[in-house]
Structure 1
Amino acid sequence: MFSEIALHILDILQNSLYASATIIEIHIIKPINSNEITVRICDNGSGMTKMQLHKCFDPFFTTKENKAAGLGIPFFKYAAELSGGNFSVESDKKNGTEIKAVFCTDSINCIPVGDIFSTVYSAFISNPEIYFYVCIDINGVSVNCDSEKFTNRFYENFSLSAGTINEEKKYLENKLKCFDIYKADSACFADYLKKISVQGGKNED
């Protein structure tokens, strides 16, 4: 099992790419006055048959060739349920796949969100042919970004000067950094969420 939610997300994104998805959405939602954070990943990939959907929680089942085990979904499910949350998968051959994991942030077993910035950034840059949409909404403070606008800015500037790569990286980082949730550890995460709801999404360490 991974030590951060961000790493679970990255692993699930690999499943979406393997399923030939061209559109992938990532939603991380924590409503005001709630102790639950919901992670939802949707794609328009090839989806799963009813039999595959039934077996996807089995760590020894995989649809990928030359892969011994499919641990991504079972481990993500285990992490969510260990915190007292829940996990679900909806999929069919026509509409792709939707995975939803709910974590209880006041549980000692809730893993930290982790480095969401690096997860999103690497997905955008490594897969320019894929459209990614990311929505992070914590206590009513929302950040939205998509790969099309970001990648266009990145490559436009790259063609002018290699020195602007860091500027573009900083652009996306600043879009997400107002929460600093990727720095939070499980012990202080619940208190942190309360803190940013008062500070308007800014961490004043």
Structure 2
Amino acid sequence: MKELSLHILDIARNSIEAGSDMISIIIVEDLELDLLTIEIEDNGKGIDKKLIDKVTDPFFTTRKTRSVGLGLALAKESAIHCDGNFKIESEQGKGTKVIFSYRYSHIDRAPLGDMGQTIMTLISLDGDIEILYSHMYNNAQFNFDTRNVKKVLNGVNINEPRVLIWIKDYINESILMLHSQV
């Protein structure tokens, strides 16, 4: 994929399909350690221990609509190719955590991409989902929580187009501010 945010979107969509009502997305850009780490955790139904090793096989899927499942396989391959790691932790009935990392300076590492658009898309897929997004860049940090946004909206639907556009812009502007604090 051309942007890492598309891997995040794909994995978080899996979380929604697994019955999650809470998804945590953490991105850590640590230039001192030359490391980009992405962690996506949900409270969905989890993955059976027998299937954990199979879910990164591109020719394995639990979906009935297609016979391949490329999302996790592509994320794993891109991380390993860029001197990083990939790990899945899951417990049935409790949820799943996917952690993948990249050498930040690796020439083949895709750019992070449009995280505002990614979060906006996830909310538009399911307005009841709660998303916790934390982004760290060196020593600076930005946090976004849909529960706080819903409180401020005071009954206005979070899926209103103007709200979604505000969310996208707010997240992207906050990330730009993080990067400018170096």
TM-score scaled by length of structure 1? 0.79
Contact map agreement 1:87 1:100 (CA 8 A) in 2: yes
Once residues 79 and 55 of structure 1 are traced to their aligned partners in structure 2, the CA distance between those partners, rounded to angstroms, is 17
- Higher Rg: 1
Shift of the alpha carbon at 1:155? 6.9
Tell me which amino acid in the other structure corresponds to 2:9: L
Bigger share in helix: 1
More off after superposition, 51-60 vs 34-43? 51-60
SS at match of 1:143: strand
Whether 1:27 and 2:8 are equivalent positions in the alignment is no
SS at match of 2:78: helix
Shift of the alpha carbon at 1:150? 2.1
Q: What is the aligned-residue identity percentage?
A: 28
C-alpha change, 1:76 and 1:169, in structure 2 (3 Å) is closer
What does 1:1-205 align with in structure 2 at a 5 Å threshold?
A: 2-31=1-30, 33-154=32-153, 156=155, 167=166, 169-179=168-178, 196=179, 199-200=180-181
Contact map agreement 1:133 1:147 (CA 8 A) in 2: yes
Aligned length, in residue pairs: 181
What is the aligned-residue RMSD (CA, Å)? 2.4
CA offsets, 1:161-193, max 9 Å, x none? 9877755654444333324xxxxxxxxxxxxxx
Tell me which amino acid in the other structure corresponds to 1:71: L
Contact map agreement 2:58 2:69 (CA 8 A) in 1: yes
Structure 2: give runs of 5+ residues left out of the alignment: none
Once residues 94 and 109 of structure 1 are traced to their aligned partners in structure 2, the CA distance between those partners, rounded to angstroms, is 37
Contact map agreement 1:121 1:172 (CA 8 A) in 2: no
Tell me which amino acid in the other structure corresponds to 1:122: T
